[in-house]
């Protein structure tokens, strides 16, 4: 099972964390990333799902991480599995 602490949090480097924190995006917070609340067009887990939309190749612009290099297919698939498996800690 994919976990935030072991698998997802390490995908984000210090630059990602600092850049997104200024925008109110708490990539280093499991509670924020896995918040079950809806919003932004999602019925549930809006924060985590919105982040996913910015890291996947066919998602929102501007892509994350800002300026690249962008995530490879394995990283995107791991994040997708984390969501599909229920946003585990």
The mean pLDDT value for 73-85 works out to: 98
Got the DSSP string for 13-24? -HHHHHHHHTTT
Mean pLDDT, to the nearest integer, of 41-67?
Answer: 94
Can you give the pTM of this predicted structure? 0.94
Q: What band does 40 get if pLDDT is binned at 50, 70 and 90?
A: confident
Q: How confident is the model at residue 5 (pLDDT cuts 50, 70, 90)?
A: very high
pLDDT value for 48 = 98
pLDDT of 67 strictly over 90: no
């Amino acid at each position: 099972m994919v976990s935030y602490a072991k698998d997802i949090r390490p995908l984000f480097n210090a630059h990602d964390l600092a850049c997104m924190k200024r925008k109110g995006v708490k990539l280093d917070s499991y509670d924020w990333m896995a918040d079950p609340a809806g919003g932004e067009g999602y019925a549930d887990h809006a924060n985590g799902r919105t982040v996913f939309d910015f890291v996947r190749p066919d998602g929102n612009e501007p892509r994350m991480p800002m300026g690249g290099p962008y995530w490879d297919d394995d990283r995107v698939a791991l994040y997708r599995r984390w969501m599909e498996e229920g946003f585990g800690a």
